């Protein structure tokens, strides 16, 4: 049994990200590239980059070169609407917003309601469309620039079909099978789908940059196999790690396991209770033992969530790390601290989410810039 496994559908075990870079054939996101990012944007890097939550890339160096040479680039990301979004889903969108704000580039967000309908046997088309609307509200609430952000839903934006057919003529069954593992029972819609997902990388005559969790990388390998033969750029990517679920550092937050996740629509009070009840810490069996031996922040989900998103202050994060290791603080204190941060985030997000209802049409992409 492998110690960990990462596919576009499942993440199991405690992921060794250095090994994953080798396995996937991607490139580490080096300090030099981050420094270059800082230099070009003239901005401090957000914690997702500074703390290497984004840790790997494909052709990000070329993206920066294009930007520097005045060619520019555009951002592309997406969401498969099969249920409510949780904190793990939204963090890469905040990183995407930082890239948009600081490079001043267009962003296309593909809502893959067709994909979820095809790949999830029990989901109806009506349900995926309903989730598409709900998820769009969460995405808009992140605060993207309405003049530079174009959200489209595959079943509505039918023009995408015209863009997908030249791709479908290039992608062989075996290329798609290598990524999706199709079998005799796979539906024909599933086999065509990779062409739809690749189409937005050709929306502009520039390089596309896709910021997303690394489990999505296999999709872009197909695009990179044929893009140049159609006269387009290979998609570039920035890969993030996974936000662990509340129950432990193995795997990722899963929308289908409510006890592992905080949903963006969770009542803040209930979210607090969930964290208090389920969040696995690196604490010892008793308070006495913890005071003597110290805790283990490297094994602690509470610490990890603070590191990834909820504690922007580097100094405070380091102080907490040291205080944990020396046994100065106990897990209850940390959990209360995290709960307050999460609750504040949820309240703010939910207010913006409500306001987003009036903005949906403004963000919808119709194919014209
Ligand atoms: Fe985690 Fe805080 Fe407990 Fe340390 S004291 S293990 S950081 S919750």
What confidence tens digit (pLDDT) does each residue in 119-174 have?
A: 899 999 999 999 999 999 999 999 999 999 999 999 999 899 999 999 999 999 99
The total domain count for the chain is: 2
pLDDT at 345: 98
Is 12 in the same domain as 108?
A: yes
Helix (H, G, I), strand (E, B) or coil at 76: strand
Q: Which residues contact 171 (CB under 8 A, 6 or more apart)?
A: 194, 195, 198, 222, 225, 226
Tokens of 270: 């209930």
What kind and span of H or E run contains 25? Answer: none
The DSSP code for 74 is E
Q: Report residue 255's pLDDT band, with 50, 70 and 90 as the boundaries.
A: low
Considering the chain, what percentage of its residues have pLDDT values greater than 90?
A: 82
Is 225 in the same domain as 102?
A: yes
Q: Report residue 20's pLDDT band, with 50, 70 and 90 as the boundaries.
A: very high
CATH number of the domain residue 75 falls in: 3.40.50.620
Is 194 in the same domain as 324?
A: no
Contact present, 89 and 79 (Cβ < 8 Å): yes
Q: Report the nearest-CA residue for atom 6 of ligand 1.
A: 282
Hey, which bits of the chain come out as E strands? 4-6, 11-13, 27-28, 54-58, 73-79, 107-111, 149-153, 207-213, 236-240
Best mutation site among 293, 311, 324 for ligand 1 pocket (most ligand atoms within 8 Å of CB)? 324
What confidence tens digit (pLDDT) does each residue in 31-50 have?
A: 999 999 999 999 999 999 99
Residue 246: pLDDT over 90: yes
Residue 369: pLDDT over 60: no
Beta-bridge mates of residue 11: 6
Domain boundary among 187, 215, 246: 246
pLDDT at 368: 62
Give phi and psi for 182, each to the nearest 5: -60, 155
pLDDT at 182: 85
CATH number of the domain residue 298 falls in: 1.10.240.10
* Residue ranges making up the domain that contains 50: 4-246
Best mutation site among 329, 335, 340, 342 for ligand 1 pocket (most ligand atoms within 8 Å of CB)? 329
CA distances to 109, 162, 312 from 209, rounded to whole Å, are 12, 22, 25
Is 9 in the same domain as 74?
A: yes
pTM score over 0.90: yes
CA distances to 27, 77, 86 from 110, rounded to whole Å, are 25, 6, 18
0.85 surpassed by complex ipTM: yes
Residue 295: pLDDT over 70: yes
CA distance 60 to 237: 7
Is 196 in the same domain as 272?
A: no
Assess if residue 349 is contained within a domain.
Answer: yes
């Amino acid at each position: 049994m492998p110690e960990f496994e990462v596919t576009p559908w499942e993440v199991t075990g405690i992921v060794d990200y250095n090994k994953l870079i080798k396995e996937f054939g991607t490139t580490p996101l080096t300090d030099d590239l981050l420094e270059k990012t800082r230099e070009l944007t003239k901005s401090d890097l957000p914690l997702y980059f500074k703390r290497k939550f984004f840790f790997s890339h494909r052709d990000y160096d070329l993206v920066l070169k294009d930007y520097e040479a005045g060619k520019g680039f555009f951002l592309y990301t997406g969401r498969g609407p099969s249920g409510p979004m949780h904190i793990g889903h939204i963090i890469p969108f905040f990183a995407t917003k930082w890239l948009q704000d600081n490079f001043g580039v267009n962003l296309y967000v593909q809502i893959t309601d067709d994909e979820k309908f095809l790949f999830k046997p029990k989901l109806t088309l009506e349900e995926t469309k309903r989730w598409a609307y709900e998820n769009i509200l969460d995405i808009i609430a992140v605060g993207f620039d309405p003049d530079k952000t174009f959200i489209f839903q595959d079943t509505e934006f039918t023009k995408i079909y015209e863009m997908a057919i030249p791709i479908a003529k290039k992608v062989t069954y075996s290329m798609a099978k290598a990524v999706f593992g199709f079998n005799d029972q796979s539906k024909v819609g599933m086999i065509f789908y990779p062409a739809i997902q690749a189409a937005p990388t050709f929306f502009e005559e520039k390089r596309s940059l896709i910021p997303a969790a690394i489990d999505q990388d296999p999709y872009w390998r197909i695009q990179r196999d044929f893009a140049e033969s159609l006269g387009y750029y290979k998609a570039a990517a920035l890969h993030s790690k996974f936000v662990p679920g509340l129950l432990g550092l193995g795997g990722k937050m899963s929308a289908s396991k409510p006890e592992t996740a905080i949903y963006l629509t969770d009542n803040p009070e209930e979210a607090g209770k969930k964290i208090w009840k389920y969040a696995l810490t690196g604490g010892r069996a008793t308070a006495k033992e913890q005071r003597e031996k110290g805790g283990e922040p490297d094994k602690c989900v509470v610490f990890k969530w603070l590191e990834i998103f909820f504690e922007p202050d580097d100094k405070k994060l380091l102080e907490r790390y040291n205080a944990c290791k020396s046994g100065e603080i106990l897990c209850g204190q940390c959990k209360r601290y995290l709960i307050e941060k999460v609750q504040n985030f949820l309240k703010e997000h939910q207010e913006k989410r409500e306001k987003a209802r009036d903005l949906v049409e403004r963000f919808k992409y119709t194919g014209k810039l």
